[in-house]
Amino acid sequence: MRRGPLDVLFLWGLSLSSYPTHHPSKYDVKSIVESRLEHAHEVFLDLGSSTTTHHYSFIVEPKSKDEASAAVAAVIHQSQFKTLLQRLDLHTNVLIHKLGTGYEDDIFQSLDVDHDSFISFYDFSSWYERAQSLLYENKEHDSIESTKWITARRTIHDFDQTPISPIILRNAIQCAITAPNHRLTEPCRFIHVGPQTLNRFFHMNPVEIAICLDEEHNSEEKESRQVLIDSIQKKLKRWSTIPGWCVVTCKRSSKNKNINKIIDHPPTFFQNETEEEDFAATCCAIQNMMLYLTSQGIGSKWVTGPIMKTGVFAELCGIQEQEEKLVGCIWYGYAKGGLSNAPAVPRRKSVYDVLTDLA
Per-residue pLDDT of the chain (359 residues; tens, 9 = 90+): 444 544 444 444 433 333 344 455 666 778 888 888 899 889 988 887 544 344 333 444 545 555 555 455 578 999 998 888 888 876 434 443 444 456 778 888 889 988 999 998 888 888 888 877 776 655 444 444 667 778 888 999 999 999 999 999 999 999 999 999 988 999 999 999 999 999 999 888 888 888 887 766 554 455 577 888 888 888 898 999 999 999 999 999 865 554 444 444 444 567 788 899 999 999 999 999 999 999 888 999 999 988 998 899 999 999 999 999 999 999 999 999 988 888 888 888 999 999 999 98
What is the pLDDT, as a whole number, of residue 33? 83
Q: Which of 332, 354, 349 is nearest to 160 (CA)?
A: 332
Count: domains in the chain: 2
User: Are 119 and 76 within 8 A, CB to CB?
Assistant: yes
Edge-to-edge strands, sheet with 74-77: 49-50, 74-77, 118-120
Residue 218 shares a structural domain with residue 282? yes
What is the pLDDT, as a whole number, of residue 136? 61
Residue 130 shares a structural domain with residue 170? no
User: Which positions ≥6 away from 276 have C-beta within 8 Å?
Assistant: 270
What is the pLDDT, as a whole number, of residue 49? 59
User: Which positions ≥6 away from 53 have C-beta within 8 Å?
Assistant: 75, 116, 118
Identify whether 147 is part of a domain.
Answer: no
Edge-to-edge strands, sheet with 188-192: 188-192, 244-251, 324-333, 299-303
Residue 171 shares a structural domain with residue 249? yes
Residue 272 shares a structural domain with residue 229? yes
Identify whether 120 is part of a domain.
Answer: yes
Q: Got the DSSP string for 65-105?
A: HHHHHHHHHEEEEHHHHHHHHHHTT--HHHHHHHH-TTHHH
What is the pLDDT, as a whole number, of residue 258? 47
What is the pLDDT, as a whole number, of residue 173? 97
- Give the H or E element holding residue 312: helix 311-317
Write the single-letter amino acid at 87.
Answer: R
Residue 119 shares a structural domain with residue 203? no
Domain end call among 141, 157, 192: 141
Torsion angles phi and psi, residue 327, rounded to 5 = -105, -30
What is the pLDDT, as a whole number, of residue 47? 87
Residue 179 shares a structural domain with residue 83? no
3-state secondary structure of 191: strand
What is the pLDDT, as a whole number, of residue 256? 53
Identify whether 222 is part of a domain.
Answer: yes
Q: Give the domain range for residue 93.
A: 5-141
Residue 75 shares a structural domain with residue 216? no
Domain end call among 97, 124, 141: 141
What is the pLDDT, as a whole number, of residue 163? 93
What is the pLDDT, as a whole number, of residue 24? 56
Residue 116 shares a structural domain with residue 214? no
Residue 212 shares a structural domain with residue 326? yes
Residue 191 shares a structural domain with residue 285? yes
User: Are 142 and 287 within 8 A, CB to CB?
Assistant: no
**Maximum C-alpha span of the chain:** 75
What is the pLDDT, as a whole number, of residue 230? 86
Identify whether 67 is part of a domain.
Answer: yes
What is the pLDDT, as a whole number, of residue 25? 65
Torsion angles phi and psi, residue 74, rounded to 5 = -75, 130
Identify whether 351 is part of a domain.
Answer: no
What is the pLDDT, as a whole number, of residue 54? 40
Identify whether 173 is part of a domain.
Answer: yes
Identify whether 158 is part of a domain.
Answer: no
Tell me, what CATH number does 50's domain have?
Answer: 1.10.238
CA separation for the pair 81, 74 (Å, rounded) = 13
Domain end call among 100, 125, 141: 141
Residue 54 shares a structural domain with residue 99? yes
User: Can you say whether the dihedral through the CA atoms of 128, 194, 328, 184 is positive or negative?
Assistant: negative
Identify whether 349 is part of a domain.
Answer: no
3-state secondary structure of 167: helix
Tell me, what CATH number does 185's domain have?
Answer: 3.40.109.10
Rg for the chain (alpha carbons), in Å?
23
Residue 136 shares a structural domain with residue 173? no
Torsion angles phi and psi, residue 187, rounded to 5 = -85, -10
